[in-house]
A and B are shown apart, each in its own frame.
Chain A
Amino acid sequence: MCTLEKTDDNIFVLTLTGDDEHRLNPTLIGSILSALRDAKEQATSGSVLITTSRGKFFSNGFDLAWAQAAGSKPKAIERLHHMVELLKPVVAELISLPMPTIAAINGHAAAGGLILALSHDYVYMKRDRGVLYMSEVDIGLTIPDYFNVLLRAKIGSPSARRDVLLRGAKVRGDEAVSMGIVEGAHDNEERLREATMSHGKQLASRKWDGEVYKEIRKGLYPELCVVLGLGEAEVIAKL
């Protein structure tokens, strides 16, 4: 499922465990949400979150097989909507997490899996393996509203967004860097882990106040906060 550990340098590492596709079904989504809330509870100044995975996949998106196992088309669609709705609080939790966040994409990240990755402040991937892929156009699904808003908030180039959404582009490491989707692409798993840890420690050493960091992050993505229901009311109440 997923585990949360804390290193000696105050870095939380959330790992999607197991050698499978880490499909975002209600169980895994619930597990991730729970881990994020634990990290939030234990946050102090200088905390950082790194999210990563084991195996060939970061996450291959929603669990369509589970949806289809519902028996009928309307029931399958209902299950799919359910997963779309369940992932939203995970994205909201990441956008309002009181610490900097890094995704170390250790494998393929598709659809909801890519959204999960892009919900982090910094994203790294491997150069040799793994693609980023919004598969929806290829498998005949439309894009949920908050996915679109997140992609607009994080990917600046209109042609990059078009290639990702309308061409179903399978983007590898170096291309993802040049399209402005990720910070960096590293040669292998070991290098990826080192680079991510090193960046994490550097961010932790700034000892920022987590509540302030979180409010500034929310202010940076105002449209996203609206669609996630992280409205102004929360900002004011906090202050």
Chain B
Amino acid sequence: MCTLEKRGNVYILTLTGNDEHRLNPTLLDSIRSALRRLRSEPTSPSSVLITTAHGKFFSNGYDLSWARSTTSQSTTSSRYRMMSSKLRGLVSDLISLPMPTIAAITGHASAAGMAFALCHDYVIMRRDRGFLYMSELDIGLVVPALFVALMECKIGSPKARRDVVLTAAKLTAEMAVEKGIVDKVGGSAEETVEAAVRLGEEMFKRKWDGQVYAKNRMVVMGKVLDELGFDGTVEEENGKGIGSKL
């Protein structure tokens, strides 16, 4: 599932196993549990969190096959709602985390997996493997407003956002840097994590107060927080599920 270790002054949260790290309730709960443990560490001077993954995938998004592996349409709808709700909780946890966050992307990050990456303050991506890919258009799903809010926060150019969302572009690290989505390109998987650790150690030296950092980040990402209450792609305004195309 996921592990949390400390290396020097920084924490590394790793999505383990050689699978797609699909964001099902088990993995989402596991990640949130790790973040809760982090919160109980002293916050000043603030440490730094690096999130990474083993294998070919950072995360390939929601566990759609788990949601659909039932004959009941209403069970499928409620599974989508559950994953959406837990992801929104995770987004909230990351945005309010009292320390800087770095995503060290060493494999494919698609759809909700890409959104998860974008929740981090910095993104360092491996040069030679893996895409960032907002896949929804290609698989016939609508991009949730939360993901659009994250992109508006993290991807400055309207044309870049259009390319990501309306062409379901598969972005290599270099394409992603060009579009202003990724901060830095790392060499191999190990080098990418090392670059993240170096950046983390630099930030640790600044001796920031983690609580203050978090509060400032929440202001900067306020529009994302606004979208956490409701996901129109899995429910109607009165809280009922949708018999959707999902």
Contacts and interface: CB of A to CB of B under 8 A. Distances in A.
Contact of B166 (A100, A154, A222, A239): A100
Interface stretch (A26-34, A79-87, A134-142, A208-216): A208-216
Contacts, number: 64
B142 A156 contact: no
B136 A216 contact: yes
B233 to A, nearest CB: 7
Interface in B123-143: 136-138, 140-143
B42 interface: no
Interface in A204-239: 206, 208-209, 212-213, 215-217, 219-220, 222, 232, 235-236, 239
Interface stretch (B56-64, B95-103, B153-161, B195-203): B153-161
Contacts of B157: 156, 180
B165 interface: yes
A153 interface: yes
Contacts of B242: 236, 239
Contact of A216 (B166, B232, B244, B245): B166
Given A180-B157, A222-B145, A236 B237 contact: yes
Interface SS of chain A: helix
Interface residues of A, number: 24
A216 B236 contact: no
B205 interface: no
Interface string A102-145: 00000000000000000001000000000000000000000000
B148 interface: yes
User: How big is the B interface, by class?
Assistant: 20 to 34
A209 B236 CA distance: 22
Nearest to A214: B142
A224 B69 CA distance: 38
B232 A232 contact: yes
A204 to B, nearest CB: 13
B113 to A, nearest CB: 18
Interface of A: 100, 121, 153-156, 180, 183, 203, 206, 208-209, 212-213, 215-217, 219-220, 222, 232, 235-236, 239
Interface of B: 136-138, 140-145, 148, 156-159, 161-162, 165-167, 232-233, 236-237, 242, 244-245
27 contacts: A156-B156, A156-B157, A180-B159, A183-B159, A203-B167, A206-B167, A208-B137, A209-B140, A212-B141, A216-B143, A216-B165, A216-B166, A217-B166, A219-B142, A219-B143, A219-B144, A219-B145, A220-B148, A220-B162, A220-B166, A222-B148, A232-B232, A235-B232, A236-B237, A236-B242, A239-B232, A239-B233
Those 7 A-B pairs whose CB atoms lie nearest each other, nearest first: A215-B142, A156-B157, A156-B158, A239-B244, A239-B242, A216-B143, A220-B165
